[in-house]
């Protein structure tokens, strides 16, 4: 498809994108540059078994009963990030400063989930059991951090590959607990609440029903989940994973749901790897914040919002136009992306 | 400075950032990769003089009187983008589609401003006269496109270097005319209007006064402009260029202001080049949309909003956390960035 470009608004009304197949035909005077593969660099990897002393002491792990914390033998290990984006909790939060220049000392938690002992592992190479253990670990850490009154929002994300922002290739994901609800999350929730007020139904449930009926943007579908190429995809081969059961919070899924989701991630990330030669990607979770006692809006939000994961392959990069306008230019129509990612049905 | 991290809100309240000096100390198992310099690839460059037939016919140019359009001899040349992000205007706009999946056929204008005949030129290597001519050309094209009723907003931007999204190294900038006001622009204007309603003054004028008084984030200051490292910089070494005279629209500056701004860009981009070894960067303009007859909010917007340029060096990249939350993690405090960029006073 190299038809005309299209301006598309996402169903929530939060952003617009330009689907511009013509852009893919641009000449490029710079030579193509192969992605840098990590190679055999496990020699110095601080996340490999036997080097547990190179990370701060673990805060959680899945390990055989009887094995000692911070020793080898683990399946999944969670440690504080040694180079955190936000300050450690033993540092008192600065008081909000008055006036225009509002700031507070970085108060938060930044953890790393080491997803497997094998340096060369990948989500798609994990066993179903191991993949499910990673998803359960995510859920358990989110739930634990959300239980602390200091954190208004806890963000889970994964950067795969250097171009996606990873500085280490050992399979890992990250969790950041923040004292505020981020603007992007707030926007999505507010849009969902407005939609429900007007239409009496969850926006995401409605979109899924329409996507199921149309079929063109469905990548994978089963009783529990739908994987779609979103109508207003900002990035080429963007994928969203939605649970079919309406729920606002991932952190409250059961063990069975975590197992099923682990299996799904194996499949979906395996397809991405095979279809596009192991592209760098970001994986992010969007869910409603944990309910706080006395929070009147929490009930409404939990009826209106629907948790989901987004997989954002890094094949283009945001440039001047995107930063100026907030509108992303995507050269790959999601209908084409879905067709490519559907084809591989391994 | 490698102190604690800090959460900062931008004065407009539109976004938060995390200033995280610790992040700069992360180990990186991937080898450093030199930026790809364009080298002597002018041999096939479609923007070089003598190859005017490789672009669509010019829509504007600065050239000596008597020289023929689409021939050599020009100083600045504006041509339609051969691989446009938005469709050509001779294609009828699709009617907005009903329901959740709102789309319209990409209707817009995408132009390229070829800033100099010399393939290896750079803004900082241009003469003051040549730099002023580029700024005047920007202004004139914006004004011309804004004069067409179809366009609600016209965006000017420049991508320098491959990592910043450029596919050709010949110095150029781009202009995209859109049938809607982009969300990011709307957000900034709305925030400025709210601020003025509350405080009776332009937010940007107030911020400039406070920045002048504090001095720590001022990079360069003269009678006409202030160049600052913004308090809530999303990117390392981000710079904003503000005119001291309150005005909502760049497109309405006079010739003298354009000349002064051209000279300023030479200086500022020269400093960036020398201080950080010619980093890739995006340069974007933010201004209020052109007034339309009968638009009651235009008067208020023109009192509240203040046009400015933003220079966004590409030294980090947005990853999972940024896409998930909208909060950027910046390892370089703007106070440090300002000190570095102030030091070079060539």
pLDDT(B16) > 50? yes
How far is it, in rounded angstroms, from Cα A16 to Cα A7? 7
Q: Are B174 and B156 in contact (CB under 8 A)?
A: yes
Closest chain A residue to B232 measured between Cα atoms?
A101
Which of A9, A184, A282 lies at the smallest CB-CB distance from B102? A9
- Pick the residue with more confidence: B21 or B213? B213
The residues pairing with A8 across neighbouring beta strands, listed in sequence order, are A17, B103
C-alpha radius of gyration, chain B, whole number: 21
Mean pLDDT of B93-106: 70
Q: Looking at residue A296, what is its pLDDT?
A: 81
How far is it, in rounded angstroms, from Cα B225 to Cα B345? 16
pLDDT(A35) > 60? no
Chain A residues within an 8 Å CB radius of B319: 157, 159, 164-166, 282
pLDDT(A345) > 70? no
Q: How confident is the model at residue B39 (pLDDT cuts 50, 70, 90)?
A: very low
> What percentage of residues in chain B have a pLDDT greater than 70?
90
Q: How confident is the model at residue A107 (pLDDT cuts 50, 70, 90)?
A: confident
User: A37 — contact with chain B (CB < 8 Å)?
Assistant: no
CA distance to partner chain B, nearest, from residue A191 (Å): 13
Q: Looking at residue B34, what is its pLDDT?
A: 47
Q: How confident is the model at residue B96 (pLDDT cuts 50, 70, 90)?
A: low
Instruction: Output the DSSP codes for B37-85.
Output: P--SGGGG-TTSTT-GGGSPPPSEEE--TTPPTTSS--SEEEEE-SS-S
Contact criterion met (CB < 8 Å) for B30 and A38: yes
Q: What ranges in A215-313 are assigned the alpha helix state H?
A: 255-275, 297-304
Q: Looking at residue A5, what is its pLDDT?
A: 87
Closest chain A residue to B85 measured between Cα atoms?
A20
A227-241, A262-276, B290-304 — which is least confidently predicted?
A: B290-304
User: A152 — contact with chain B (CB < 8 Å)?
Assistant: no
User: A11 — contact with chain B (CB < 8 Å)?
Assistant: yes
Q: What ranges in A77-171 are assigned the alpha helix state H?
A: 128-146
Which of B85, B312, B318 lies at the smallest CB-CB distance from A329? B85
E-assigned strand segments in chain B: 6-9, 16-19, 60-62, 76-80, 103-105, 109-114, 153-160, 172-178, 218-221, 225-228, 239-243, 281-286, 308-313, 328-330
pLDDT(B294) > 60? yes
User: Interior CA angle at A207 toward A204 and A209, to 5°?
Assistant: 110
> What percentage of residues in chain A have a pLDDT greater than 70?
90
User: B197 — contact with chain A (CB < 8 Å)?
Assistant: no
Mean pLDDT of A186-215: 96
Q: Parallel, antiparallel, or unpaired for β A328-330 and A16-19?
A: parallel
Contact criterion met (CB < 8 Å) for A87 and B310: no
Length, in residues, of chain A: 346
Exposure letters B138-163 (e unless 16+ CB within 10 A, then b): bbebbbbbbeeeebbbbbbbbbbbbb
A154-163, A288-297, B276-285 — which is least confidently predicted?
A: A288-297
* pTM flag (> 0.90): yes
pLDDT(A210) > 50? yes
Contact criterion met (CB < 8 Å) for B7 and A184: no
Residue A319 DSSP SS3: coil
Which of B46, B162, B284 lies at the smallest CB-CB distance from A323? B284
Q: How confident is the model at residue A146 (pLDDT cuts 50, 70, 90)?
A: very high
Mean pLDDT of B312-324: 95
Nearest Cα to Cα of residue A241 among A206, A267, A215: A267
Q: How confident is the model at residue B4 (pLDDT cuts 50, 70, 90)?
A: confident
Contact criterion met (CB < 8 Å) for B167 and A26: yes
Q: Looking at residue A197, what is its pLDDT?
A: 96
B281: region left, alpha or beta (phi > 0 left; psi from -120 to 50 alpha): beta
User: B106 — contact with chain A (CB < 8 Å)?
Assistant: yes
Q: How confident is the model at residue B295 (pLDDT cuts 50, 70, 90)?
A: confident
pLDDT(A2) > 90? no
Q: How confident is the model at residue B95 (pLDDT cuts 50, 70, 90)?
A: low
User: B168 — contact with chain A (CB < 8 Å)?
Assistant: yes
Closest chain B residue to A105 measured between Cα atoms?
B6
Average pLDDT, chain A: 90
Residue pLDDT, tens place only, B178-218: 999 999 999 999 999 999 999 999 999 999 999 999 999 99
Instruction: Output the DSSP codes for B87-123.
Output: --TTSPPPPPPPSSS-EEE---EEEEEE--S-TT--G
Contact criterion met (CB < 8 Å) for A101 and B210: yes
ipTM exceeds 0.85, yes or no: yes
Q: Looking at residue B176, what is its pLDDT?
A: 96
Contact criterion met (CB < 8 Å) for A4 and B105: yes
Mean pLDDT of B295-322: 93
Neighbours of A39 (CB within 10 A): 10
- Pick the residue with more confidence: B155 or A27? B155
How far is it, in rounded angstroms, from Cα A146 to Cα B325? 16
- Pick the residue with more confidence: A14 or B173? B173
Mean pLDDT of B145-173: 94
pLDDT(B40) > 60? no
Nearest Cα to Cα of residue A329 among B111, B85, B102, B82: B85
Q: How confident is the model at residue A39 (pLDDT cuts 50, 70, 90)?
A: very low
Contact criterion met (CB < 8 Å) for B84 and A20: yes
| Cβ pairs A/B, distance under 8 A | 271
Q: Looking at residue B113, what is its pLDDT?
A: 98
Average pLDDT, chain B: 90
User: B176 — contact with chain A (CB < 8 Å)?
Assistant: yes
Q: Looking at residue B22, what is its pLDDT?
A: 80
For residue B291, CA distances in Å to A324, B139, B152, B288, B295 come to: 20, 16, 9, 8, 7
pLDDT(A294) > 90? no
Residue A199 appears among annotated catalytic residues: no
Chain B residues within an 8 Å CB radius of A159: 319-320
Q: Looking at residue A53, what is its pLDDT?
A: 95
- Pick the residue with more confidence: B184 or B95? B184
State both tokens at A211. Answer: 């996507």
Q: Looking at residue A91, what is its pLDDT?
A: 47
Q: How confident is the model at residue B1 (pLDDT cuts 50, 70, 90)?
A: very low
Q: How confident is the model at residue B98 (pLDDT cuts 50, 70, 90)?
A: low
Q: Parallel, antiparallel, or unpaired for β A76-80 and B16-19?
A: unpaired
Q: Looking at residue B130, what is its pLDDT?
A: 97
Q: Looking at residue A88, what is its pLDDT?
A: 59
pLDDT(A96) > 70? no
Contact criterion met (CB < 8 Å) for A7 and B180: yes
Candidate list A110, A160, A170, A172, residue with the active-site label? A172
Chain B residues within an 8 Å CB radius of A187: 326
The residues pairing with B312 across neighbouring beta strands, listed in sequence order, are B282
pLDDT(A320) > 50? yes
Q: Looking at residue A346, what is its pLDDT?
A: 53
User: A90 — contact with chain B (CB < 8 Å)?
Assistant: no
User: B98 — contact with chain A (CB < 8 Å)?
Assistant: no
Residue pLDDT, tens place only, B58-71: 999 999 998 999 99
Q: Looking at residue B91, what is its pLDDT?
A: 47
Q: Looking at residue B265, what is its pLDDT?
A: 97
């Amino acid at each position: 498809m190299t038809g005309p470009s299209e301006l598309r608004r996402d169903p929530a009304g939060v952003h617009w994108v330009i689907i511009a197949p013509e852009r893919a035909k641009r000449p490029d005077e710079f030579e193509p540059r192969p992605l840098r593969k990590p190679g055999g660099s496990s020699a110095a990897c601080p996340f490999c078994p036997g080097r547990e002393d190179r990370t701060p002491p673990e805060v959680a792990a899945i390990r055989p009963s009887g094995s000692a914390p911070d020793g080898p033998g683990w399946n999944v290990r969670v440690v504080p990030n040694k180079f955190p984006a936000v300050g450690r909790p033993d540092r008192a939060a600065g008081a909000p400063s008055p006036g225009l220049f509002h700031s507070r000392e970085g108060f938060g938690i930044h953890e790393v989930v080491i997803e497997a002992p094998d340096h060369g592992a990948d989500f798609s190479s994990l066993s179903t059991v191991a993949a499910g253990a990673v998803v359960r670990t995510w859920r358990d850490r989110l739930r634990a951090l959300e239980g602390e009154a200091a954190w208004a929002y806890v963000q889970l994300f994964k950067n795969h590959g250097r171009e996606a922002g990873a500085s280490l290739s050992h399979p890992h994901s990250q969790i950041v607990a923040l004292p505020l609800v981020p603007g992007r999350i707030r926007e999505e929730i507010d849009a969902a609440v407005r939609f429900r007020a007007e239409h009496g139904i969850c926006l995401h449930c409605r979109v899924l029903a329409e996507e199921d009926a149309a079929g063109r943007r469905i990548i994978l579908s089963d009783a529990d989940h739908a994987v779609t190429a979103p109508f207003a995809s900002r990035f080429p081969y963007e994928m969203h994973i939605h649970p079919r059961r309406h729920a606002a919070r991932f952190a409250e899924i059961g063990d069975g749901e975590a197992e099923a989701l682990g299996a799904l991630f194996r499949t979906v990330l395996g397809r991405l790897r095979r279809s596009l030669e192991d592209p760098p990607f970001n994986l992010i979770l969007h869910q409603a914040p944990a309910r706080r006692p006395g929070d009147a809006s929490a009930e409404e939000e939990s009826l209106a919002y629907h948790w989901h994961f987004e997989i954002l392959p890094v094949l283009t990069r945001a440039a001047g136009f995107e930063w100026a306008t907030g509108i992303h230019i995507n050269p790959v129509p999601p209908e084409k992306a879905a067709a490519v990612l559907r084809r591989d049905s391994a």
